[in-house]
Amino acid sequence: MDIFRYLVDFDPREMEKEYYDAVIIGSGIAGVYTALEIPGERNIAILTKESIDMSNSVLAQGGIAVSLDKEDSPELHFKDTLYAGAGLCDEESVWVLVNEAAFNIDRLCGFGINFDQKSPGELALSREAAHSKNRIIHAGDTTGKEICDKLISGARAKKNIHIKERTFALDLLTEGNSARGVLAFDESSSAYKLYLSGIVVCATGGYGQLYAGTTNPEVATGDGISLAYRAGAELMDLEFVQFHPTVLYHPENKNFLISEAVRGEGALLRNIRNERFMPRYHELAELAPRDVVARAITREMEKTGADHVYLDITFKDREYLENRFPNIFKTCLDYGIDISRDYIPIAPAEHYCMGGIKTDTYGRTNINGFFACGEAACNGIHGANRLASNSLLEGLVFGHIISREIGRLLAARPGGEASLPAGYSSGRRDRWMDESEVRADIQRTMTEKVGIVRDGKGLAHAREKLERYRTQLGHRRNETVRHFELQNMLLLAGLVTESALEREESRGAHYRRDFEKTDDVRWKRHIVKRR
């Protein structure tokens, strides 16, 4: 795939510049926690393309997986993660995750997070799909918001952390194979700026907006993963896209997540004929891995000619549900659904990307000084299918590890400002196209051809269409945030489709109806893409 190195032309001699010890792109849990863990005397910038409180992390409902119960252990958490990952988890990374979980939860509690308690001083533990034990700590059903609010408050109070809102990170600046900073677009002034540093951390989240139906916010257009690819970073496991089985299906809202924790509390799935169906598909029934449940729901919808199924938790009383799931209860009630009496109409929607920027267990990429963590990264923890509530934990554990690594690098480096990168000129030209229609068509194509169930014919059709769009738009001058996002979406949609077409088997979240079996002989390996 032939692409330009940078999204825009620029001349560094004519641009405003700011110098930092480290630049972090992204304001979710991974990015903000990393900034807070870096030694306090270091000068840090956090770049976020909207307000700092808009991220996928804020929307996380279920909680964080950590083995705290006396009947649980890191070893059991390790085994559950590997089972969900369908043979593609990196065991070293998973060991790091489960063994450093409790330490980071303890540090997180130091920021004043109000996790639910079973009794004073004892955190309440719930269970989610594919977990063998109760190990999910939570703050009602708004865990992500509670954590983000407290971390952001902590970051705002730090004089060494500079938060740059409405700042779109366009590209990673490099010299040779080393990071030199970030080329960014200031959305308020419509001006380009250089944030110069020999250390850059990408924590921009995933690429859920490639799909028509997603639980992700509008900002999740894969910008960080795309800028990494243009700079020469390796991407891995892009074909593994997780669809959450239970997302509200209502005429006015088809992207509100109904947490895994609802099934963890015993909720049953029923088709429109009121038949419970999950025991026919998996021995764990409603608590089977997400890919299994999502495909089972899809098959039931096809069999019954319906566009949704139901989630039934009516056997729990209203007071319990209002206390345990206050946000879900209120939101459903706003749409006329009393979940203590009514079934919840649901359908699967895109939720999480297992693939991303390839890193090692220190968060390092193949570009010197360039790190990645959170959903933007791929260190092999999630394999082919993420275990529920491991995502927030991953951002914490590897954010802390990256902060230690950054502290070590900065202590070893001599002082002085980062060198100025060379400019860039591409010869792009103006070209009109209905961007909204192109964006919507990309999302339709990805949903229909590169979604829950795939096949070679559909994937080839998607690749051909995406290549036509890329040819038409690849040489167009980019000037607005919508331009930048569309280029990133086109790039990533093509790479996801290529990876899905290449993997001729079914594994985890990647299901091919023309290759239904898992093939460990040929495909128990990762697909890596590099510019």
Residues marked as catalytic: 290
CA pseudo-torsion sign 370, 371, 375, 381: positive
d(CA 98, CA 94): 6
| Residue 72 burial (CB count, 10 A) | 19
d(CA 10, CA 261): 48
d(CA 311, CA 415): 58
Q: Which of 368, 372, 339, 371 is nearest to 355 (CA)?
A: 372
Q: Which of 520, 518, 501, 517 is nearest to 455 (CA)?
A: 501
Token pair 């690819």 in the structure block, residue: 229
**Beta-strand pair 241-248/235-236:** unpaired
Burial, 117: exposed, middle or buried (Cβ in 10 Å; 0-12, 13-18, 19+)?
exposed
| Residue 100 burial (CB count, 10 A) | 18
d(CA 23, CA 199): 6
HSE-CB for 529 with a 13 A CA cutoff: 28
| Residue 115 burial (CB count, 10 A) | 18
Contact between 202 and 357 under an 8 Å Cβ cutoff? The reply is yes
Q: Which of 75, 77, 92 is nearest to 132 (CA)?
A: 77
HSE-CB for 137 with a 13 A CA cutoff: 24
Provide CB contacts within 8 A for 465, sequence distance 6+.
441, 445
d(CA 199, CA 189): 26
Q: Which of 373, 350, 83 is nearest to 241 (CA)?
A: 350
* The pair of three-digit structure tokens given for residue 84, joined into one six-digit string: 């969900």
